[in-house]
Amino acid sequence: MNVADHLAAVAGRVEAELDRILPPASEPPATLHRAMRYAAMGGGKRLRPALCVAAAECLADRAPDPVWRAAAAIECLHAYSLVHDDLPAMDDDTLRRGRPTVHVAFDEATAILAGDALLTLAFEALAPVPVPAPYPAGALSLELAVAAGSRGMVGGQAADLAGEGRTATAESVEWTHTRKTGALIRAACRIGAIAVGADEASLAALSRYGECAGLAFQIADDVLDATSTPERLGKSTGRDASKGKAGAVVVWGLEGARRRASVLIDEACEAIGIFGARGVRLRDLAAFVVSRPA
């Protein structure tokens, strides 16, 4: 199965989990619940759930059902982050996944509340997932909380906003990207590993893979922002340049950014060499990170 077919299969399974987790659209407050479903069920690559499942399958023949629930919880948190990133007070975007953003399709207050609800729903969904020894009972929730908070995604978003109009350096760009985007990708890999009882060496390898792949993903996203179109990408493009954002293309140029992403993917794949053939899915996903269609 090629990467595109695999991601489609993962998306189908994850969306079935999301459908079970999310409140029905008819349940009061109905507008809020419709907005949550609009945000979480609106397509997307489902890359983070795919990484969670692939990390688990480095250590198990197939990911057990609880890993799929954890993957859906990760996608809930990712959906929340997109809703809030698109708000007028943040990136002020009107297009996401080829359709109007949540605050455009509904209204700004509903979008804020839908994001809040998806964030908390992620932890509600993750709470029943069993955690095997030697990890403590709260290990999965801790991974997600650290990735989401001020030392992770929220901190990265704050740095991204603060960097508008300022001179960028390679260090500042990587610091921001590692948190805004990389933190959840790293957490997805770690959660998949922890959920199947990974040993210390395996967890370290998958953590390193997630760090490198996460940073490479955002660098590649910066390249797409500079080179693609809204019609092809499904979201606004040229935003970094128009807002004076300190992105990878500003620091390295287009070809330099592509080279940096490629080096990071090589490092990610090297990190999971200990898994041999079991790591093939993660290697395929890493290649997809830097070669996904513009």
CA 123/CA 127 separation, integer angstroms: 6
Show the tokens assigned to 128: 């029943």
Under the banding of pLDDT at 50, 70 and 90, the label for residue 22 is very high
Rounded to an integer, what distance in angstroms lies between the CA atom of residue 227 and that of residue 293?
11
Whole-angstrom CA distances from 57 to 82, 186, 196, 203 are 28, 16, 9, 13
| Mean pLDDT for the stretch of residues 256-282 | 97
Quick one: pLDDT at residue 238?
65
Res 247: pLDDT: 86
Average pLDDT (99-105) is: 97
pTM above 0.85, yes or no: yes
For the cut 80, the answer to whether the pLDDT of residue 241 exceeds it is no
pLDDT of residue 291: 85
Per-residue pLDDT, 251: 92
Give pLDDT, residue 240.
65
pLDDT attached to residue 49 = 98
Structure token digits, residue 202:
């395996």
Q: pLDDT tens-digit profile of 160-209?
A: 998 887 888 999 999 999 999 999 999 999 999 999 999 999 999 999 99
Residue 258 scores a pLDDT above 60: yes
The residue-averaged pLDDT of 95-113 equals: 96
Give the residue-averaged pLDDT of 29-37.
98
Taking only Cα atoms into account, the Rg of the chain, rounded to an integer number of angstroms, comes to: 18
CB 148 within 8 A of CB 116: no
The pLDDT mean for the chain works out to 93
pLDDT band at 294 (very low <50, low <70, confident <90, very high): low
Cα–chain-centroid distance for residue 177?
12
Residue 18 clears pLDDT 70, i.e. is over it: yes
DSSP state at residue 273 = G
Instruction: Give residue-wise pLDDT tens across range 154-167.
Output: 999 999 998 887 88
Q: For residue 94, what pLDDT band results from cuts at 50, 70 and 90? A: very high
In order of their start, the domains of the chain are 3-291 (1.10.600.10)
Higher pLDDT, 245 or 135: 135
Quick one: average pLDDT of 33-51?
Answer: 95
**pLDDT above 70 for 244:** no
Find the helix or strand (DSSP H, E) in which 112 lies: helix 108-126
Distance CA 17, CA 109 (A): 27
Residue 265: pLDDT band (50, 70, 90) is very high
For residues 163, 189, 220, 41, the Cα torsion angle rounded to the nearest 10 degrees is -90
